[in-house]
Structure 1
């Protein structure tokens, strides 16, 4: 096995689902990994971070700044500060404002359980121009774990996720809320509608708070909502063939 560029990794929020996943997977890439969970005591932080090459913060975006401020005094020079959040602009701003060392944003585009046949990809975002070398090291780590990394920017990431996660959530919530007004609708469920309900179940019964938080934190969500409303207006006007053809771009590269 090639010696890893990041030999010693600490994971804050190691008791969460993603933190626990990386606590298990990163050692398989040859790294020494230590997990951190609250309470973050001085002795615990000093011991875990003294020789740390990377601190990966696996905490909600709402507490990112507080956690970084707590751990910053214990980070050795050159230690990479990274996150795994579903939004990049705000959390990365919090890291950059509170830490002078190398900052790298990551977003693993998968959960702790990866469905069969799904290629797990990871977005990698250098914090500054000077952090590109650090980003390459993080890239290599995720590549060694078969998490198919790719480089991007915070803006490009958040604009895409405003649709993939944000609009996916808000449109699903609005659509299913509207169906409540239809009398006896549950008697008319078809297989295709059942598939849509099944896809929405976990989002709305188990992950509602998560999706609400990351949707509200995405600076481009309202822009994507407005664009969706524009297309919904076209549908209301009867331009369904136009919309159907445009929607097929996902499966037909010749459509723009």
Structure 2
């Protein structure tokens, strides 16, 4: 399998536009459709495409996968770029009998230098997986293989827990104007870092948490750390947290 022509479903979204632009710059044939979708629209756009790439929210995956499956032929690859993988891959496999590949680009619509990693999870057909990896590499990204479960456990910790702890922290401090005179530079840095997540992307993150089957497992693990803090053993937590700087602490390079 070799991918030379792609169809991006959700081509007007931020990630859809990114991949359409990158694929075109890499010399690939690119087509795009966006809402409102219809079977006739998708069928016309999908004709002759090697890859149909779903750049749609996790909540829309089942409906869009079913629509695409109804108009694709068995030689075309169906793939997605959702930030969760277990349920989207299951949805694509249930809807479509042809090649299926799950992917998750670990960056946003405006990736910075070095933000190139793309998780690739198996679905159906190893040759399709290889072709999708080559597709991402051709655009300058760095694909790596994982499983859907391993991916979702990691995202529940890295992405989901980051959101839930941030939103909980600022919710706990809301409606307390008496704190404003005491704001420090470090608090302002945390506030600035959280602004986009909480004012623009909260709905997206809430949807991803709902779609990830391992979200509550990560929340419970974090709650156990809070229980240690409530017991007063902050030094133990600080020592454990220093794992992230272990190379520097041991005298090695970071």
Quickly name the TM-score band, shorter chain normalised.
over 0.9
- Structure 1 residue 34: Cα displacement: 0.3
Q: For structure 1, which segment, 147-156 or 22-31, has the greater mean C-alpha deviation from structure 2 after superposition?
A: 22-31
Picking from 63, 67, 81, the partner of 2:64 is: 67
Gaps of 5+ in 2: 250-254
- Give the alignment's TM-score, normalised by structure 1: 0.91
Paired residue for 1:25? 22
Structure 1 outlier segments of 4+, above 4 Å:
none
| 3-state secondary structure, aligned to 1:252 | helix
- Structure 1 residue 46: Cα displacement: 3.0
Question: Do residues 232 (structure 1) and 229 (structure 2) align?
Answer: no
Task: Provide Cα deviations, 1:189-225, integer angstroms capped at 9, x if missing partner.
Answer: 1111111111111011011100110011111111100
Paired residue for 2:245? 251
- Give the alignment's TM-score, normalised by structure 2: 0.92
**In structure 1, C-alpha distance between the alignment counterparts of 2:134 and 2:91, rounded to whole Å:** 24
| 3-state secondary structure, aligned to 1:111 | coil
**In structure 2, C-alpha distance between the alignment counterparts of 1:207 and 1:85, rounded to whole Å:** 15
Picking from 34, 37, 44, the partner of 1:47 is: 44
For the 8 Å contact 1:53–1:79, the answer to whether it is kept is: yes
Task: Provide Cα deviations, 1:166-210, integer angstroms capped at 9, x if missing partner.
Answer: 111111111111112645112111111111111111011011100
Paired residue for 2:116? 120
Number of equivalent positions: 249
Q: For structure 1, which segment, 196-205 or 33-42, has the greater mean C-alpha deviation from structure 2 after superposition?
A: 33-42
- Structure 1 residue 247: Cα displacement: 1.3
**In structure 1, C-alpha distance between the alignment counterparts of 2:75 and 2:161, rounded to whole Å:** 38
Question: Do residues 155 (structure 1) and 155 (structure 2) align?
Answer: no
**In structure 2, C-alpha distance between the alignment counterparts of 1:121 and 1:146, rounded to whole Å:** 10
